[in-house]
Amino acid sequence: MAPVASIILFLAGPLVAEAGPGMFLGTSEQHQSAASLDYTSGSKNLLQDLEFAVGADHREATERRVARLEDAMRPIFTALPKDKAGGLSASGVRYMLHRVFVQRHGWFVRGLDSAGQAWNSTSPTDMLGDHVGDHVQQVFDKKLENEGFDLHHAAVLAATLENFVHVEAMQRLEASYRLTGINQDSDDAPEDLVRQAMQTYMLIYVLDANFSKVTTQWVTKAYKAINRIYPTWNKTVVFLDEVRGAIVENGAVSDGETDTEGSMASATPTSWATTLQVLETVGERYGRWQSQECHDLKNALVSLEDRGSGRVPLERFYASALNNISWQFQESIPYLRSLGALDETDPNRMSVIIPNYINGPNNCVASSKFYSSCCINECDDLVGHLENNFAAPSALPTDIIKLVEALPSTTVSAPRVLPAHLSERLSEIAEHHGGLVPLHGRLFTQWMHHAYPRECQFPHVSGTTTPIKPQTFKKETGLDITANQQEMAEVVRNAELTRVDDEEHTRVMHWSTEEELFVQQPDFAERKGWFVVRTGFLLTAVISGLLLVAKIFPKSALGLVMTDTGKASSEKYYV
């Protein structure tokens, strides 16, 4: 991945992408009309409500995407807890949409990723209000509040977001054409200028620059620095050319991902329509394409890990950077801690948790106003396999064991026999939940981490970590995101002084007993209290004190349990 410190230094100034409300949708009359809509009538036609709020063009563009998104969501939707009418709660919608966008595109959508908090800490519709105005958000909020979302409603919300991304791609390409000197109405622009415009588009995209403020001077500077701050730039250009070649040759995108499908019959290879289709397709495939970098990073960490634990001793992590073996591994201890990638179970033998490190925002590359392109979570495919088989929110521990023992990952062979302690842990979880194991809870996610320590993240209790982008961490804390040579050397030196003979030491993977259900059974009669926090045993004053050091220092397990019901409770889950 790109050296994060270099990107932060390069982007210092006014070019960091900004997000603002009222982006581009609808007329003032539509905004006023939307405010007066009666959403309590129980209407099922969310697309019709959306059209009334933002216009027919947006409704049509959104509707074209809905069917394939329903298909993509169906396995997760079927497996999530729902109310008697088959509706999902707000936390269920957020959880599902986050996973679907990561699966499809490697997009970590702003406002959908939990970012270390509980899944119902914010509404899944907040992203709309942040970028396109409250009038659009209200269309979805009222439906979600009064009735919950069925599969179609969730697909409409996802399609609406994809359509916003489509419009943003158009705006970014307009800026690239302006910077390159191409008239976007031209159907026969010179080949070399079109390629230059596409590469400028990717430059802005990869460096997360604000396309509305980019200047030709910035572009010149960026081209000179790009190979240093993003070493895989040349491969990115090759990928861009390959996508373009396939689209020009075939005359249309074959997977139906973009709005312009079918328009290629009359478009020339250097036309605006062709170029936009190429770049939209690149944006939707980029996450999976660049996942090879994530696999390379994972393999480098696995080569350093401690006895198949999915953990790399911190001294070994830093030594690889000091010895120029892996220049990437330089994140500071405070930043690793914030990411949730630092295992401090034994303070004398701190280690980096491989899947938490790989799937953190430290490894996100390209960005838009709506999402960051990050590593695709390998564990999601494993959980998806269980969801496809069970098609239910919970399952018997014996059935889970049977499936998992037959389920391989990229580093775990199958069939296998799971250790007895894993079977016992699963039985304990089931016993606490009346005989069945919830598939979408913290304890089962932790169990999957133990079963697949290199693929599945360790799930910290919500609110105890703050996984944020490097530049955000530096801005909010004032701390360095990378350790300097002296700090890394000191960690290595101290480890030498306290070294334990490998034959005498066995790393015990941490097990935390706090349970949190990511998606609760909806109770729409009490929907008003979506975002109320249920605390276990900590008083508000204690929590306030802990928040002062939340982003920098390790926290004790707060055990915050979030629900959709809004009932205050002293209940605390332990297993």
Is the residue at 327 inside a domain? no
Residue range 140-175, pLDDT digits in tens? 888 787 778 899 999 999 998 998 899 899 999 999
Evaluate if residue 39 carries a pLDDT over 80: no
Say yes or no: 142 and 263 in one domain.
no
Does residue 49 share a domain with residue 156?
A: yes
Residue 574 phi/psi, 5-degree rounding, is: -130, 145
The CA distance from 335 to 470, in Å, is 8
What's the mean pLDDT when you consider all of the chain?
81
DSSP lists the bridge partners of residue 482 as 331
Same domain membership, residue 231 and residue 198 = yes
Decide which of 165, 200, 229 is a domain's last residue: 165
516 confidence band (pLDDT: 50, 70, 90): very high
**Side-chain half-sphere of 127: how many Cα atoms within 13 Å?**
22
Same domain, 155 and 193: no
d(CA 36, CA 43): 15
**29 and 91 belong to one structural domain:** yes
- Rounded alpha-carbon distances, angstroms, from residue 326 to 191, 260, 362: 39, 42, 15
* Residue where a domain stops, chosen among 134, 165, 196: 165
Residue 522 confidence (pLDDT): 63
Does a structural domain hold residue 232? yes
Q: So what's the pLDDT on residue 233?
A: 94
In a domain, 414, yes or no: no
| Closest C-alpha to 332, from 458, 116, 490, 207 | 490
Closest by CA to 198, choosing from 248, 159, 160, is 248
Token pair of 110 as six digits: 């702003």
Q: How confident is the model at residue 432 (pLDDT cuts 50, 70, 90)?
A: very high
Regarding whether 142 and 49 lie in a shared domain, the answer is yes
Q: Which domain range does residue 265 map to?
A: 188-283
**Are 229 and 143 in a shared domain?**
no
User: For the residues 355-378, what does the mean pLDDT come to?
Assistant: 92
Choice between 254 and 403, residue whose per-residue pLDDT is larger: 403
Same domain, 252 and 119: no
Query: How far apart, in whole angstroms, are the C-alpha atoms of residue 575 and residue 514?
Result: 7
**Mean of pLDDT values over 252-264:** 45
- For residue 329, what pLDDT is reported? 93
Tell me, yes or no, whether 216 and 146 share the same domain: no
**Which range has the worst mean pLDDT, 227-241, 304-318, 549-563?**
549-563
pLDDT tens column, 460-508:
999 999 999 999 999 999 999 999 999 999 999 999 887 765 544 455 6
Q: Given this model, what pLDDT does residue 381 score?
A: 95
Q: Which of 67-81, 414-428, 486-500 has the lowest mean pLDDT?
A: 486-500
Give the mean pLDDT of 72-86: 94
Please compute the mean of the pLDDT values over residues 253-270 and round it to a whole number: 54
More confident residue, 58 or 299: 299
Task: Provide the token pair at 289.
Answer: 């394409």
Q: What is the mean pLDDT of residues 105-118?
A: 91
Q: Which of 20-24, 35-39, 166-170, 530-534 has the highest mean pLDDT?
A: 166-170
Is the bond preceding 361 in cis, omega lying within 30 degrees of 0? no
Last residue of a domain, one of 102, 130, 165: 165
> Is the bond preceding residue 415 a cis peptide, omega within 30 degrees?
yes
pLDDT at 337 over 50: yes
Closest CA to 99 of 378, 340, 362: 378
Mean pLDDT, range 339-361, rounded to an integer: 95
Q: Assign 204 a pLDDT band (cuts: 50, 70, 90).
A: very high
pLDDT band at 548 (very low <50, low <70, confident <90, very high): very low
Q: Are residues 157 and 219 located together in one domain of the fold?
A: no
pLDDT at res. 545: 39
**Residue 18 is which amino acid?**
E
Please report whether residue 267 resides in a domain. Answer: yes
- Do 102 and 216 lie in one domain? The reply is no
User: Could you give phi then psi for residue 209, rounded to 5 degrees?
Assistant: -90, 155
Per-residue CA distances from 32 to 27, 36, 183 (Å): 9, 7, 36
**What is d(CA 285, CA 288) in angstroms, rounded to the nearest whole number?**
6
Residue 536 lies in a domain: no
Question: Has residue 563 got a pLDDT over 70?
Answer: no
12 belongs to a structural domain: no
Number of domains in the chain: 2
86 & 136 share domain = yes
Whether 137 maps to a domain, the answer reads yes
Of the pLDDT bands very low, low, confident and very high (cuts 50, 70, 90), residue 42 is very low
Coil, strand, or helix at residue 375?
Answer: coil
Mean pLDDT of 428-446: 97
Please check whether residue 515 is in contact with residue 348, taking contact to mean a CB–CB distance below 8 angstroms.
Answer: no
Flag whether 29 is in a domain: yes
Assess contact for 461 and 537: CB atoms under 8 A.
no
**In which band, very low, low, confident or very high, does the pLDDT at 565 lie, cut at 50, 70 and 90?**
very low
Query: In the prediction, which pLDDT does 19 show?
Result: 41
Enter the tokens of residue 370.
């709506």
Look at residue 7 in the predicted model and tell me its pLDDT: 54
Tokens of 63: 């509707």
User: Where does the pLDDT of residue 180 fall: very low under 50, low under 70, confident under 90, or very high at 90 and above?
Assistant: very high
Q: Are 462 and 117 within 8 A, CB to CB? A: yes
